[in-house]
Chains A and B, each alone.
Chain A
Amino acid sequence: MTNMINLLLFPIILPFLFAILLLFFKENIFMQRLLAFIGLTVSLVAALFLVAKVKTDGIQVITLGSWPAPFGISMVSDMLSALLVTTTLLITLLVVVYSFTSIGKERERYFYYPAILFMITGVNGAFTTGDIFNMFVFFEVLLIASYVLIVLGGEKQQLRESIKYILVNVISSALFVITIAYLYSVVGTLNMADISVKIAQVGQPGIITVIAVLMLIVFGIKGSMFPLYFWLPGSYAAPPVPVLALFGALLTKVGVYAIMRTYTLFFINDIGFTHEILLVLSILTVIGGCIGALAYFDVKQIIIYNIVIAIGVILFGVAQMNEAGISGGIFYLIHDMLIKGALFLLIGIIIYVTGTSNLRKMGGLMKTHAPLGWMYLIAAFGLAGVPPLSGFIGKLLIVKGAFEAGTILGSIIILASSLVVLLSVIRIFIYAFWGAPTAELPVTNHRSYRKMMIPAVLLVILSVLYGVGTEWLIPYMADATDVLLQPSIYIDAVLKE
């Protein structure tokens, strides 16, 4: 199959193509739904083929226009990016199915599905690119689509919060451009593999460490890391639930991926300083997220602060720079994408059937909506990391890596944070599902309730399989970890002589 070298572009190009097609059928909601569904399914199949291809043949690299590696734009798909691309498409497909019932015709008629597909183009591109400026461009692609999604509908709260969201992201994008300018003036190249080689040649002088910290600030804003997560709780509470699920599952993770990539490929010659900062900030992120998750009686806010906690846990794993820590980080990253998608869809249904997101006004849903309750309970245990479920293995490996590296206090904080996570999500369960039923539930359509349950239940099942099938996933994760731990594999694949 020599003619399939373009396979790694398919998960980027296919959503883009279908997004353009959708622009022509603005008023035809049926076509919108059909084409969005087909586009995402085809992209998902391509992504699965890509994972198989990366597993058998190693890292896939394509240099656009056949210009040799440091001069053209390289697209690089190693196991980590292939797995992230697949997870992204899987979650998006299920969220789109959920949107059929929940988003409402008004939004569907105003470019809702094209905006999602454009955003996925940006997310997949950012996961796959091998060029730092191209990564900036893909960040902008996904951000501009996310601006549309966050404000679509034009409610008062959405307008107010979008202004803040866009301002924060405009500033962080300007910082990204500035950082790239500094990096270019030091190393004189934009290709990520080549940057890594050039940095190793000059042996990381002080200026490279400064650039490393600047990158941490840029991606820390995108990925909501302490003390840069101030924008996240307000902005994410504004859009409707399917959009929130997409944002919560995907957008912050692109920032985390960028930190993982740059901190394992570029800035590896002075890890005593840079990774120490990453370690301290990740622990503070976990603590900040825990405080927020316990402080609120609003179901959306509780899960939103759980995003912040998970970002801290993943980055804590990455900061260890040993095999257990990084592979734990990767396990936890993909687990967290799946489980956050599932949880947001489930609380979306809770909000739909109770008509409120305030916990104090809910109660007794177990009597009327038992399947919803059990699904929520499984997802909650999965999030906290109860052994047979998906969150366990990642956190286990992260803590193991931390003990190997000697960060005992940090690992204890991570373990304690699991309890806080469990407490925060179980609180939703107790308030919403136990107790006496609230006097009157709003009249809801039972058919649309069932239709919304299907994608949510599928996501929960997927996350359970992810936990149960850990053994089967280990070879894939080992491949992903090897590339992160040994940048030479990545560099050799891109700059092959």
Chain B
Amino acid sequence: MELIMAIVIGILFMAAVYLILSRSILKIIIGTGLLSHGAHLLILTMGGLGGIAPPVLADGVTDYADPLPQALILTAIVISFGVTAFILVLAYRTYAEHKTDNMNLMRGNDEHD
């Protein structure tokens, strides 16, 4: 099971890297979304996919899933959710100001604005 997950996560990372290297801001943001999905699935997989019961205390439960990675993922999800919301609004504002979503056209420094 871990092997299949590893391959799926690898494909997610591959797609994320491909999208992040593209020119359009929206594609890049979709890429970061896929990247965080991959990272979160990786925590789940690396914690081990053993355990039959969910980590909830109940009578007769002895073999339960590792609760720690689930807590880590929950934390990482809300953080990446917050950052993604911010970056989407930022992309919207940047599009409004610069009139382009092409990263290649967003160069320049102090002297050449």
- B-binding residues in A (CB < 8 A): 133, 136-137, 140, 144, 147, 151, 154, 156-157, 159-160, 162-163, 166-167, 170-171, 173-174, 177-178, 180-182, 184-185, 190, 234, 237, 298, 300, 357-358
Q: Which residues of chain B from 49 to 92 have a CB within 8 Å of any chain A CB?
A: 68-69, 72, 75-76, 79-80, 82-83, 86-87, 90-91
**CB-based contact A171/B83 at 8 Å:** no
Report chain A residues within 8 Å CB of B111: 298, 358
Total interface residues on B, CB under 8 Å, equals 39
Nearest residue, chain B, Cβ from A297: B111
B91 pairs with A185, CB closer than 8 A: no
State whether A171 touches B109 (Cβ < 8 A). no
What's the Cα separation between A163 and B46 when bound, in Å? 31
Q: Which B residues touch A173, using CB under 8 A? A: 79-80, 83
Known: A140-B79, A170-B35, A184-B43. 17 other contacts (CB 8 A): A156-B97, A156-B113, A163-B94, A166-B90, A167-B87, A170-B36, A170-B80, A173-B80, A177-B76, A181-B39, A181-B45, A182-B46, A184-B69, A185-B47, A190-B68, A237-B109, A358-B111
- Which positions in B face A, CB cutoff 8 Å? 20, 25, 28, 32, 35-36, 38-40, 42-43, 45-48, 68-69, 72, 75-76, 79-80, 82-83, 86-87, 90-91, 93-94, 97-98, 103, 106, 108-111, 113
Provide the residues of chain A in CB contact with B113, threshold 8 Å. Answer: 156-157
* Known pairs A159-B90, A162-B90; A184 contacts B47 (CB<8 A): yes
User: What is the minimal beta-carbon distance from A292 to any residue of chain B, in angstroms?
Assistant: 13
Question: Contact between B110 and A137 (Cβ–Cβ < 8 Å)?
Answer: no
Q: A151–B90 contact, CB under 8 A? A: yes
Residue of A with least CB distance to B106: A160
Are B87 and A181 neighbours in the complex by a CB distance under 8 Å?
no
The dominant DSSP class at the A interface is: helix
Min C-beta distance of A404 to chain B, whole Å: 40
The answer to whether B43 touches A166 (Cβ under 8 A) is no
Residue of B nearest to A298 (CB): B110
Q: How far is the CB of B12 from chain A (nearest CB, A)?
A: 11
Q: Which residues of A contact B46 (CB under 8 A)?
A: 181-182, 184-185
Q: Are A237 and B110 in contact, CB atoms less than 8 angstroms apart? A: yes
Q: Is the CB of A185 within 8 A of B83?
A: no
**Cα-based distance from A157 to B69 in the complex (angstroms):** 40
Whether B98 lies near A156 (C-beta < 8 A) is yes
Q: When chains A and B are docked, how far (Å) is the Cα of A151 from the Cα of B91?
A: 12
With a CB–CB cut-off of 8 A, which chain B residues contact A166?
A: 83, 86-87, 90
Q: Which residue of A lies closest to B91 (CB)?
A: A163
Complex Cα–Cα for A111 and B75 (A): 25
Chain A residues positioned under 8 Å from B83 (CB to CB) = 140, 144, 147, 166, 170, 173
Contact between A163 and B90, CB atoms less than 8 A apart: yes
Q: Which 9 A/B pairs are nearest by Cβ-Cβ distance?
A: A185-B46, A181-B46, A177-B39, A181-B43, A159-B94, A174-B39, A174-B35, A160-B106, A181-B42
Residue of B nearest to A151 (CB): B90
Which residues of chain A come closer than 8 Å to B28, judged between CB atoms? 167
CA distance A170 to B75 in the complex (A): 15
A163 B106 Cβ-Cβ under 8 A = yes
With A171-B32, A237-B109 known as contacts, the answer to whether A160 contacts B94 (CB < 8 A) is yes
Residues from chain A with Cβ under 8 Å of B80 in the complex: 170, 173-174
Residues in chain A near residue B43, CB distance under 8 A? 177, 180-181, 184
Q: Which of B25, B39, B45 has the most CB of A within 10 A?
A: B39
